[in-house]
Each structure stands twice: as C-alpha cells, then as structure tokens.
Amino acid sequence: MSAIAAAAITAGGAIIGAGVNAGMQASGASAASRAAREAALLQMQQINDWYAASRQRMMPYQQFGRQQLPIYQQALQDYANAVPGYWNQLGNYQQAVDAYRQTAIPGVEQAIRDYQTVAPQYQQAMRDYGGALQRYEGMVGNLGATAGEMGDLARRYRQAVDRYYGAAGRYEGAIPEMTRAFTQADYEASPVYTPMVRNLAELQATPGYQFELEQGQKELAQSAAARGGTLSGAQLQASRRFGQQQAATGFQNAWQRAQNAYQTALGQHQNYQKQMAGVLGENVANFGQGAQLTGAEANIISGKAGIQAQQLGGMGTALGGYGTAVGQVAGLGDIFGTGVQQQIGRAGLYRNAADMAQTGAGLYGAGMGLMQQNVANRLGGLQFGYGANMDMNQLGLSRVNAINQALGGYGSAGAAGSMAQGNIWGNAIGQGIGGLAGGLANTYGGPGGWGSWFGAAPATGGWGDALGNMGQNFSGINKPYKP
C-alpha cells in the first residue's frame, strides 16, 4: 500500500502543477481576448461617428437634389409649352421667304430686262464719247507739253534778263572806277613808282649814282698818274668839274626816270580802265542778246500754244456734243434704272420682312435655347443630388461592411480566447491523468500487480498505456473556459 500512496502523491503533485500552470495561461488568454474585443468595440464606435459626420456633411447636397426635382419638372413643362410658338415663328419666316422669291425677285428681273434694252445704245454713245474724250485728252496733253515748254522758256528768259540786268548793274557800278583820274596816290601805289630827286642828298641816295661818281674819279686819278700830275691843281679842278657834271647829269637822269615811271603807271591805269569797260560792256551785250533770243523763242512757242488752244476748244465743243448724246441715252436709262431701283426697293421690303421673321424666329429660338439650357442645368442639379444620395447609400454600405468586419473581429477574439483556455485546461488535465496512470502502471502493471487481480494484463503496454491514451484523448476536448 506504501507504493500506492507514493504513486498517488506523485500523480497528485503532477496534477496540481499542471493546474497552476494552466490557470496562469488561461488568465493571460482571457485578458488578451478582452483587449481584442474592446478594440473591436472602439473601432465600431469610430465607424459610427465617422458615418454620422459624413452624413451630416452630405445632407445639404442631398436636399439640394431633392429641391431640383419640381423645378426640373416645371422647366420641362415650360419648354414643351414654348415649342408650338417656335414652330409658328418658323412658319412665318418660310412664308416671308416664299413671298420674296415668288414676287420680289421676278419683278426685279423684269425691270432689269427692260433696262438692258437701253444698254446697247448707251454703250455705243459711251464709246463715241470715250473716243472723243481720248482725242481731247491727247490735245490737252500736247497743250500741257507746250505749256511746259513755255514755262521752261519763261524761266530761262527770266534768268537771261536777270543776267542782263546783273551785268548792266555791274557796268554802271564800275563807271566811277573806269572814269576816275590817275592820282598821285595811284602812282605811289604802282609797282613802277619812282620818286623825284629834290636835293643832292637824295641824288646821292639813288641807285648807281655813287658808283658812277667813284668810277669817274678813279679814271681821272689814273689818267693823272699816268701823266705824273696826281696832286696838281689841274687834276683837282678836273675832279671838281667831273663831280659837278656828274651831279647835273644825275639830276637829269633821275628826273627822266621819274617821268618815265609816271607815264608807265598812268598807261597801266588807263589800260586797266579800258579792259574793265570792255569786259563789262561785252557781258552786257551778250546777256542782252541772250534775253532777246529767248524772248523770240518764247513768242514762237506762245503762237504754237495759241493754235493748240484753238484746236482744243473745237474738240471740246465736239466732246460736249457727244456728252449730250450720252446724257440723252442715259436719261432714258435712268428712267428704266429708276424702275429697277423701285423693284429692288420693293424686293428689299420683302427681304426686310423675311429678315424680321428670321430675327423673330432667332429670338424665339434663343429663348428656347435658354429654356433648354435651364432644363439641362436643372437636370444637372438633379443628377448632382442623385449622386449625393448614391454617395450616402454607398457610405451606409461602407459602414455596414466596416461594422461587420469589426463584429467578426469581436467574435473571433472571444472564440479564440475560449478555445485557448479549453486547450490549456485540457492539456493540463490530460497531462496530470496521464502522469497518474503512468505511475500506477509502472507500479502495478507488471507481474503480480493489479493486473493479476483482474486477470491477464493488456497485451500491449499494460494499463499504463491505456490510461495514457485516455489522458491524451481527454486533453483534446475543446470546451470554452468560463472563469
């Protein structure tokens, strides 16, 4: 019996240890399960809050779409009521167009045909008038060219006269210079001016006088030396007479040189006056002759212009006759043209009526377009509200799906906690019973043990194996744990 007690104590200790360990593991699994369920509840609360806030924000758009429905229906009704009036306007426009085509256009075409009967006569008159006008313009051109020549001659004549008067003015201005007497100042200003000798000192200062005197004295001295009477009285007297004669001759020569210089300067002055008079007089004559020739040429061109003017006058008279013929035919054409204009004016009235009808139809059509746009705008508002409603429905579906997911997480957390607790306790109990059975089997499973009390032992493993298998099967039972 002591062996049985020992086995029982050993098995009991194993069971108690397994139970303590299982309790601690089950408590931890229960706390984790509660935290997961609380997180799932918090998630569902946040989903509900988000849904309520989103629904509150979208509510005005949904209300706006609901308000658009009666307005859209009224716009459709107004548009439908306006359609008959628009067709009536189109009918009026078509009637005006038919009247313009059937009445106004034929009247204009007939008036044009009547007007065209005068057109050949008018065209012939215009051709005749055009030919005469061309000839007249040719004459005008010739007269213009002649007038240009006259203008050029007049310009040249004025230039020649201006040159003549300029030359005459210069001649008259030079008369005082050409007739002015030769003065002492003119002589002194002359390059040949030679002053008169008034005393011996001036004579001695004349060029060559002193040289001639010295040469004469030298010759007398040489002659006296040759005769041996250099310092004789005769020699001194001869030298004195030579000096006196040389002075007298020098005065005469100086006076003659001054006279010759004066006559030369006077001749130069007179020649200058004659040359001036000749040049200026010749210029006056030449310019006067040029002016006369230019005036004669101008007279010839003036006669030519007179003849051309007479011809031009005759051609102008002929041109006036042609113009009168054109005017007569044109007057007839004006009558028919007035008929054309009247028919065109009448057609214009028809056209104005058609335009007014078209304008009325256009305005009515524009109003229809505005009404159609209003219908489209209201439809857009209605579609906008419908979209908001669909968004709210989708929001609700999203909320339901999110809550279902949260609920699934909540249930999964509870089931997972219960299953974990069942597994923990089942394993603990199975391990304890298995340990107890093993101990008993080891103690009494052999020969002479309990097996001998109940007959032969099991063929495989003894009772220990059987109890161990029972423990393992018991530990597999998954029952939720409720603390």
Considering only residues 328 and 448, tell me which one the structure prediction assigns the higher pLDDT. Answer: 328
The rounded distance, in Å, linking the Cα atoms of 18 and 5 is 20
Give 157-183 as a DSSP string: HHHHHHHHHHHHHHHHHHHHHHTPPP-
Kindly list the distances between the CA atom of residue 208 and the CA atoms of 199, 213, 215, 223, 254, in Å, as whole numbers in the listed order. 16, 9, 11, 23, 11
pLDDT confidence band for 221 (50 / 70 / 90): low
Q: What is the pLDDT of residue 471?
A: 47
Least trusted range by pLDDT, from 97-106, 313-322, 391-400, 466-475: 466-475
The rounded distance, in Å, linking the Cα atoms of 74 and 57 is 29
88 pLDDT above the threshold of 60? yes
Continuous H helices in 179-199? 184-189
Ranked by mean pLDDT, which of 289-298, 361-370, 395-404, 465-474 comes out on top? 361-370
**Average pLDDT over all residues of the chain:** 76
Considering only residues 133 and 425, tell me which one the structure prediction assigns the higher pLDDT. Answer: 133
Q: What is the pLDDT of residue 262?
A: 86
The rounded distance, in Å, linking the Cα atoms of 400 and 405 is 9
Q: What is the pLDDT of residue 477?
A: 42
Query: Are 380 and 65 within 8 A, CB to CB?
Result: no
Residue 424 is encoded by which pair of tokens? 């923990």
The rounded distance, in Å, linking the Cα atoms of 308 and 333 is 36
Q: What is the pLDDT of residue 375?
A: 83
- Name the strand (E) or helix (H) holding 480: none
How confident is the model over 94-101, as a mean pLDDT?
89
How confident is the model over 425-450, as a mean pLDDT?
57
Ranked by mean pLDDT, which of 11-20, 187-196, 250-259 comes out on top? 187-196
The rounded distance, in Å, linking the Cα atoms of 271 and 261 is 15
The rounded distance, in Å, linking the Cα atoms of 103 and 97 is 10
The region, left, alpha or beta by phi > 0 then psi within -120 to 50, assigned to residue 456 is beta
How confident is the model over 468-475, as a mean pLDDT?
47
Least trusted range by pLDDT, from 39-53, 337-351, 458-472: 458-472
Q: What is the pLDDT of residue 247?
A: 61
- Spans of all domains in the chain: 2-113+353-475, 130-330
Which residue is associated with the tokens 């069971």?
Answer: 15
215 pLDDT above the threshold of 70? no
Does the domain made of 2-113+353-475 have the CATH classification 1.10.10? no
How confident is the model over 69-85, as a mean pLDDT?
91
Considering only residues 442 and 110, tell me which one the structure prediction assigns the higher pLDDT. Answer: 110
347 pLDDT above the threshold of 80? yes
Considering only residues 360 and 251, tell me which one the structure prediction assigns the higher pLDDT. Answer: 360
